[in-house]
């Protein structure tokens, strides 16, 4: 009866290990579980705590603080409920457990109207307590901004963020500055797929939809640098689509904005660097105010040298990284919409210092 591939000896061999199995598992489980798995899970959990400006447990604007307040209310309600339910369960288990001496079934109860009404009404009341402040904060976060609010047009691109400041008439990329204590009205848009603007400590999170302007309004209350990240999957380099919000004092902000709004001086347009930039077709996608380069497919490069990071917050802005970026953008950002232009070393050597000089 032996079919090919079917060997009784294999079955025997397998079965013979069964008695040893519990011992084997006892050996394996504690070692793997306590030596590897528990610390690993612990590390993963801890990785979500503190330190980073992506932590949602710290708010530095009116909006994010109010979200935390609601979170607090929900947390304490949930904790009280958890303790109540677990408490009743433990009491029931201890008090009504079988002793082994019973001869009949305990009294069987079917239905209890007051209890059924109770556990239907109580959750409804709790949900109302949670829903009312949540929904009102959602509306508040996109309410009509004050007249003196700073408007920022934030556009989600693949895979970077464009920030326009109509009040000062300029555009920049990936680094959004806002003044301390003044309301900001971020107008969220997209001209491609859906992205989400997420800076947990300052601006919370909202989608950037094609064909629609979403608002998020907040007033930041602590000077600092805060991380942000696209939070809606938008293809290849979604995970590399980061940005930063800088909260500046009113004077620092004004200084920054006026500088960003200034064009580059005339000698820039005549420089060898700009000639090489033009010759390498960079002008087809980038703008440098003060020169003939006026396209806005890629980030505005007028003051690219003043940014701390490039490629939407994933590379420090220095000559070595600019070199890497120009050599092959897609090697750094998969799917990058900036093509590999097969630049010669000579072109790169001329263009890189030129870009760094655009402070
Ligand atoms: Cu995305």
Q: What percent of the chain has pLDDT over 90?
A: 75
* Residue 16's pLDDT band (cuts 50, 70, 90): low
Question: How close is the Cα of 81 to the center of ligand 1, in Å?
Answer: 37
Question: How close is the Cα of 198 to the center of ligand 1, in Å?
Answer: 10
Question: How close is the Cα of 211 to the center of ligand 1, in Å?
Answer: 17
CA 96 remoteness from chain centre: 49
User: Which pLDDT belongs to residue 49?
Assistant: 62
**Closest C-alpha among 185, 180, 238, 229 to residue 205:** 229
pLDDT tens track for 17-37: 676 777 766 666 666 666 777
pLDDT tens track for 281-332: 999 999 999 999 999 999 999 999 999 999 999 999 999 999 999 999 999 9
Question: How close is the Cα of 119 to the center of ligand 1, in Å?
Answer: 42
Whether residue 325 is preceded by a cis peptide bond, meaning omega within 30 degrees of 0, is no
Question: How close is the Cα of 237 to the center of ligand 1, in Å?
Answer: 7
**Whether residue 76 has pLDDT greater than 70:** yes
101 vs 332 pLDDT, higher one = 332
**Whether residue 5 has pLDDT greater than 60:** no
User: Which pLDDT belongs to residue 3?
Assistant: 46
User: Which pLDDT belongs to residue 32?
Assistant: 66
- Residue 347 burial (10 A CB sphere; 0-12, 13-18, 19+): middle
Question: How close is the Cα of 201 to the center of ligand 1, in Å?
Answer: 19
**Whether residue 212 has pLDDT greater than 90:** yes
Question: How close is the Cα of 236 to the center of ligand 1, in Å?
Answer: 9
Question: How close is the Cα of 159 to the center of ligand 1, in Å?
Answer: 7
Question: How close is the Cα of 74 to the center of ligand 1, in Å?
Answer: 29
Please give the average per-residue pLDDT across 175-184, as a whole number. 97
* Residue 165's pLDDT band (cuts 50, 70, 90): very high
Taken in order of first residue, the domains within the chain and their CATH numbers are 10-46 (no CATH), 53-84+113-259 (2.60.40.420), 266-357 (2.60.40.420)
How far apart CA 28 and CA 44 sit, in angstroms, is: 22
Can you spell out the DSSP letters for 152-198?
EEEEE-SS-EEEEETTTTEEEESEEEEETTSEEEEEEEESSS-EEEE
User: Which pLDDT belongs to residue 42?
Assistant: 83
Question: How close is the Cα of 205 to the center of ligand 1, in Å?
Answer: 12
User: Which pLDDT belongs to residue 15?
Assistant: 66
Question: How close is the Cα of 89 to the center of ligand 1, in Å?
Answer: 44
The whole model's pTM is what?
0.83
Question: How close is the Cα of 161 to the center of ligand 1, in Å?
Answer: 10
* Residue 41's pLDDT band (cuts 50, 70, 90): confident
Question: How close is the Cα of 86 to the center of ligand 1, in Å?
Answer: 40
């Amino acid at each position: 009866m032996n079919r090919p591939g079917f060997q009784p000896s294999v079955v025997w061999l397998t079965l013979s290990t069964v008695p040893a199995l519990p011992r084997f598992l006892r050996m394996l489980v504690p070692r793997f579980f306590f030596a590897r798995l528990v610390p690993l899970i612990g590390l993963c959990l801890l990785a979500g705590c503190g330190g980073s400006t992506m932590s949602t447990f710290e708010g530095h604007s009116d909006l994010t603080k109010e979200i935390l307040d609601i979170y607090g209310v929900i947390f304490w309600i949930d904790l009280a409920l958890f303790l109540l339910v677990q408490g009743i369960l433990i009491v029931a288990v201890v008090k009504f457990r079988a002793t082994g001496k019973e001869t009949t079934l305990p009294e069987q109860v079917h239905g209890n109207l007051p209890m059924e009404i109770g556990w239907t009404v109580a959750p409804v009341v709790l949900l109302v307590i949670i829903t009312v402040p949540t929904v009102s904060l959602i509306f508040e976060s996109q309410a009509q901004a004050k007249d003196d609010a700073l408007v920022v047009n934030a556009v989600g691109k693949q895979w970077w963020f464009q920030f326009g400041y109509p009040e000062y008439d300029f555009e920049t990329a990936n680094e959004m500055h806002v003044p301390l204590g003044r309301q900001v009205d971020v107008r969220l848009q997209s001209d491609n797929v859906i992205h989400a603007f997420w800076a947990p400590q300052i601006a919370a999170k909202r989608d950037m939809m094609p064909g629609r302007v979403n608002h998020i309004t907040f007033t930041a209350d602590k000077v600092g640098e805060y991380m942000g990240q696209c939070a809606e999957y938008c293809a290849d380099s979604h995970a590399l689509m980061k940005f930063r919000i800088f909260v500046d004092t009113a004077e620092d902000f004004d200084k920054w904005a006026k500088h960003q709004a200034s064009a580059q001086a005339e000698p820039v347009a005549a420089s060898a660097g700009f000639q090489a930039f033009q010759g390498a077709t960079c002008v087809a996608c980038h703008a440098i105010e003060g020169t003939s380069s006026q396209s806005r497919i890629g980030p505005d490069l007028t003051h690219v040298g003043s940014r701390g990071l490039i490629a939407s917050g994933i590379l420090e802005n220095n000559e070595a990284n600019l070199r890497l970026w120009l050599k092959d953008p897609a090697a750094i950002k998969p799917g990058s919409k900036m093509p590999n232009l097969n630049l010669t070393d000579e072109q790169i050597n001329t263009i890189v210092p030129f870009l760094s000089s655009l402070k």
